[in-house]
Structure 1
Amino acid sequence: MDDLETRELRYFLTVAEELHFGRAAARLGMSQPPLSRAVRQLEQRIGVDLFVRDPRGVRLTTAGTVLVGEARSALAAVAAAGRRTRRAGLPTRHLVLAVKAGADHELLQALLDVHGADPDGLPVEVLFGEVHEQAAFLRDGRADVALMHRTYDDLTGFDTEDLRTEEQVAILPRTHPLATRESLVQDDLRDLPDLPAARWPRPDGSYPDGPGPEVRSQAQLAQLVALSRTVIVIPRSSRTLQWPEHVAVPVRDAQLATTVVAWPAGSTSPDVARVVRNAVLAAALVSSDAVPTA
């Protein structure tokens, strides 16, 4: 089998996302017949059907589902190679650190301070994102290193170093009866008729079932809690997102959340290694209220 081309992988992924050749062709800015031919040629080269085509529409085969994940990884790797090579060739080199907007503020500030005082450390640009975007930033080369959470994020394909482990808290509207409690357990928050739990997207972008609102950004979540529309359980360090209308209450039996510094597996960059080392040093400076890692 000949090597696959990035162009045909992009064509395939667009059809897989739309499950409609006409809509996929419109997204790609091309007519449908050449797109259909390109996908047929891809199937012939690989030797398996990627789609089931019938009067009811188009759906992925088992092989096609496998190729979706593989193609996304391959295209991200190609994009990463270009972006990281381009940064390495800039007159003034720098590294990009991806973080969740509003999370781990104390740790982030400590890391920037420690790294900034390192005479051999490259300048660091901070790239803020929402939930699960840090993994995408690392995979496609927009970032070199990231602060992520073992409890929530997909760390597949990354090397990691644990920085701190902490309890989780429920962020509640200040006027809610549970906001007066010293602590809670997860059963206290389950099936609240007046306060359904917010639903974060999964790494693939889909949402779990449930009556709570779908949220994607920290700002959206903060306002929904203030409006008494939802409740959320988050790592204690993310309580910096609190508004005056919020109360943070510890959840005793919630799984502990571990913040990690992550970077592409197998990286041999001494500059990335220096950021990782400085992240560990920074974590030691802010770990007085955290649960020690093993």
Structure 2
Amino acid sequence: METRELRYFVAVAEELHFGRAAQRLGIAQPPLSRAIRQLERRLGVALLERTSRTVALTEAGHVLLREARAALEAVEAAARRTRRAAAPVPGIVLVTKAGASAELLAKLLDAYAAEPDAVPVDVQLCGIGEQERLLRDGRADVALLHLPYDSPAGFDTEVLSVESQVAVLPAGHPLTIRPSLRMAEVIDLPDLPLPRWPEADGSYPPGRGPEAKDNSQLYQLIALGRACAILPESARTHLRRDLVAVPLDDAPTVTTLIAWPAHSHSRAVADLVRAATRI
């Protein structure tokens, strides 16, 4: 299969309409239809169910859509990394969630900077759950991921830290005088719902909690008495004075990983990972 055919199929599979897919691709509809039929003949399976009014994916079509997206992302990631490797000044792009693992990140960068062959590290701060996508699509060389919230599937990883979690509440809330809490007590708070974070497509899941995009917005919502949060213990160092962290007895631990593409042969990435594991 050619990448052109995969792009054509993904457009049709996502639009479920040949006319809109052709417009999106900037081509005429007849050659698009011929390309999809040729792809089906080559694979020996029907990818789409067509009627005069509708287009739907077959089971095989659903499988190819998932695999085609991954393949096209891998091709684009390879192109991005290749262009970056040819840059006049070599460097590494490290991506991490804004407000997370700040102390650990500072130690990591200092340790790597002491390496004799260290190259510049461009630290990019992202929103909740975006590190994984940026690493997969080639816009980052290394990422800090946090289990159980991020998926390390397909990456090489090293564990950097394991920490407990705390409930973050507005100062003055009755529960802040307790030495510790349990997860059920925090999740079921009627006056302080947990926030809703955006999905990969930018939409928010249903729920009663307020929408939050980053930690700064989250802390403001908590201070206003509109939400509470469950965060790693290290979040204590960045809390405002109007927020209080209370230990959670039964919360799962958060594991911080340094992750990089499994096929990476970058010496700079290897040096950065070694510096990270030493701290």
- How far is 1:246 from its partner? 2.4
- Flag the 1:275–1:53 CA change in 2: closer, same or farther, 3 A: same
Q: Which amino acid aligns with 2:79?
A: G
Q: Which runs of 5+ in 1 are unaligned?
A: 283-294
- How far is 1:260 from its partner? 0.6
Matching of residues 103-142 of structure 1 within 5 Å: 103-142=100-139
Q: Which amino acid aligns with 1:263?
A: W
Query: Which residue is equivalent to 1:258?
Result: 255
Matching of residues 1-294 of structure 1 within 5 Å: 4-30=1-27, 32-54=29-51, 57-201=54-198, 209-240=206-237, 242-282=239-279
Q: Which amino acid aligns with 2:62?
A: T
- How far is 1:99 from its partner? 0.9
Structure 2: distance between partners of 1:14 and 1:5? 14
User: Does the residue aligned with 2:244 lie in a helix, a strand or coil?
Assistant: strand
Identity %: 58
- When structure 1 is superposed on structure 2, of 101-110 and 213-222 the one drifting more is 213-222
Structure 1: distance between partners of 2:125 and 2:59? 36
- Flag the 1:274–1:58 CA change in 2: closer, same or farther, 3 A: same
Structure 2: distance between partners of 1:147 and 1:5? 34
Q: Which runs of 5+ in 2 are unaligned?
A: none
Q: Which amino acid aligns with 1:66?
A: V
User: Does the residue aligned with 2:82 lie in a helix, a strand or coil?
Assistant: helix
Q: Which amino acid aligns with 2:142?
A: V
- Give the aligned length: 279
Q: Which amino acid aligns with 1:170?
A: A
Structure 2: distance between partners of 1:214 and 1:69? 29
User: Does the residue aligned with 1:63 lie in a helix, a strand or coil?
Assistant: helix
- How far is 1:192 from its partner? 2.5
- How far is 1:105 from its partner? 0.4
- Flag the 1:46–1:253 CA change in 2: closer, same or farther, 3 A: same
Any idea what the Cα deviations from partners look like across 1:163-220, whole Å, max 9, x if unmatched?
A: 0000111222334332332221111023332222223345676755533234443333
Structure 2: distance between partners of 1:152 and 1:77? 23
Structure 2: distance between partners of 1:176 and 1:55? 61
